[in-house]
C-alpha cells in the first residue's frame, strides 16, 4: 500500500491502473478511521481491482465555531486500518494541496442540503460537495463508497452526481454500530465515560422509532414524539433535531411513505452526534 499527499501522484497511479484495464473504487474520509470506515473499504475492495482512500480533514465544511482544530487525527492508525482492509493507495494531502490561496469556486446541491443538518450548518454541505467533486476529479473512480450514518450527505452526493452527470456509481453502506448500539463515529472519542453512556439515548430512540414504523405506525408526529421523549429522558442530551423526511429529496413528510428517512442530531455535552434509520415502506407493505 502506498501513501501520498500529491494530486499528481494519485493521477499518475490511477492512470497506470486504467492502462491495465483495472477498475477503481474510492472511499473519501476525514481520517481517524474506525470500523465503519473499514466496512466501506472492505466493500470497495470486494467490488474493484484497486481502491483509493482519501484521508483529509476538509476545512471548508467546518463552520466558524466548529471543531476543525480539535477534530481527531491519527494517520499512523489510519494507515494500519487501510492496509488491513486491503486498500492500495491513501491520498493524504495538506490543505494547500487541495485549495489555492485564492480558491473561490464552490459546488452546492441546494434543496437537498436545506433541511436537517443544513439548517444549523448552512455552509457544511457546500464544503462537502466541493471537496468530493474535487476528489472525484482527482481519483476518477468507477465507484465511490459512503456510509448511511451520514444519510443526508449520501443524498447530497447522489444528487450532485446525478445533476452534474458524473460517471460514478455511488454505493451507500449500512451503519456500523458499537456492541451497545451507538453508531460508530470519530466524534465518539470526545465523550467522557458519563457522556458515552448518555449517548445511548440516540440509538435507543432510533431503534424504537424504526420498530414503530415497521409495526404499522405511519404518522410522523407520533413516531417523532416517541423518539423525542426517549432522548429527553437523558439529562445530558440536548436535541438539535428529530425529523422524518423523504430519503432522497430530504423534504419533510407528515406520513411515512416510500423510502423514509428518520434522522436525529443530538448534543451530548458539547459533542454533536447524528444517527438515523431508513425504511422502504414499499418493501414493508408488501411483506
Question: Of residues 37, 92, 124, 137, which has the active-site annotation?
Answer: 37
User: How far apart (Å, rounded) are the C-alpha atoms in residues 73 and 219?
Assistant: 42
241: left (phi over 0), alpha (psi -120 to 50) or beta: beta
Q: Rounded to 5, what percent of the chain is helix, strand, coil?
A: 45, 20, 35
At 53, list the grid cell: 482512500
User: How far apart (Å, rounded) are the C-alpha atoms in residues 33 and 185?
Assistant: 9
End-to-end CA distance of the chain: 45
DSSP secondary structure code for residue 184 in this structure: P
State how far the alpha carbon of 126 is from the alpha carbons of 57, 61, 122, 241, in Å: 15, 7, 8, 20
- Please confirm, yes or no, whether 37 is among the known catalytic residues: yes
> Strand pairing of 259-268 and 237-246?
antiparallel
Q: Are residues 240 and 275 in contact, defined by beta-carbon separation less than 8 angstroms? A: no
User: How far apart (Å, rounded) are the C-alpha atoms in residues 72 and 37?
Assistant: 15
* Residues taking part in catalysis: 37
Amino acid at each position: 500500500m502506498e501513501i501520498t499527499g500529491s494530486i499528481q501522484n494519485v493521477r499518475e497511479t490511477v492512470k497506470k491502473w486504467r492502462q491495465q484495464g483495472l477498475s477503481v473504487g474510492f472511499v473519501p474520509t476525514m481520517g481517524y478511521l474506525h470500523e465503519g470506515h473499514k466496512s466501506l473499504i472492505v466493500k470497495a475492495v470486494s467490488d474493484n481491482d484497486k481502491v483509493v482512500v482519501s484521508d483529509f480533514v476538509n476545512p471548508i465544511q467546518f463552520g466558524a465555531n466548529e471543531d476543525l482544530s480539535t477534530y481527531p487525527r491519527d494517520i499512523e492508525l489510519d494507515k494500519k486500518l487501510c492496509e488491513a482492509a486491503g486498500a492500495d493507495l491513501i491520498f493524504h494531502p495538506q490543505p494547500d494541496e487541495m485549495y489555492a490561496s485564492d480558491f473561490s469556486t464552490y459546488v452546492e446541491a441546494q434543496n437537498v442540503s436545506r433541511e436537517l443538518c443544513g439548517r444549523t450548518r448552512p455552509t457544511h454541505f457546500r464544503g462537502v460537495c466541493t471537496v468530493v467533486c474535487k476528489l472525484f476529479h482527482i481519483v476518477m473512480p468507477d465507484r465511490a463508497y459512503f456510509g448511511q450514518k451520514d444519510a443526508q450527505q449520501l443524498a447530497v452526493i447522489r444528487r450532485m452526481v446525478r445533476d452534474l452527470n458524473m460517471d460514478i456509481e455511488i454505493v451507500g453502506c449500512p451503519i456500523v454500530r458499537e456492541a451497545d448500539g451507538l453508531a460508530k463515529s470519530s466524534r465518539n472519542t470526545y465523550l467522557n465515560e458519563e457522556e458515552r453512556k448518555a449517548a445511548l439515548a440516540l440509538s435507543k430512540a432510533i431503534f424504537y422509532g424504526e420498530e414503530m414504523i415497521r409495526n404499522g405506525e405511519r404518522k410522523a408526529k407520533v413516531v417523532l414524539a416517541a423518539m423525542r421523549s426517549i432522548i429527553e429522558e437523558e439529562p445530558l442530551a440536548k436535541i438539535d433535531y428529530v425529523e422524518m423526511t423523504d430519503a432522497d429529496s430530504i423534504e419533510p413528510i407528515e406520513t411515512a411513505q416510500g423510502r423514509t428517512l428518520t434522522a436525529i442530531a443530538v448534543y451530548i455535552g458539547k459533542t454533536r452526534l447524528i444517527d438515523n434509520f431508513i425504511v422502504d415502506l414499499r418493501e414493508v407493505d408488501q411483506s
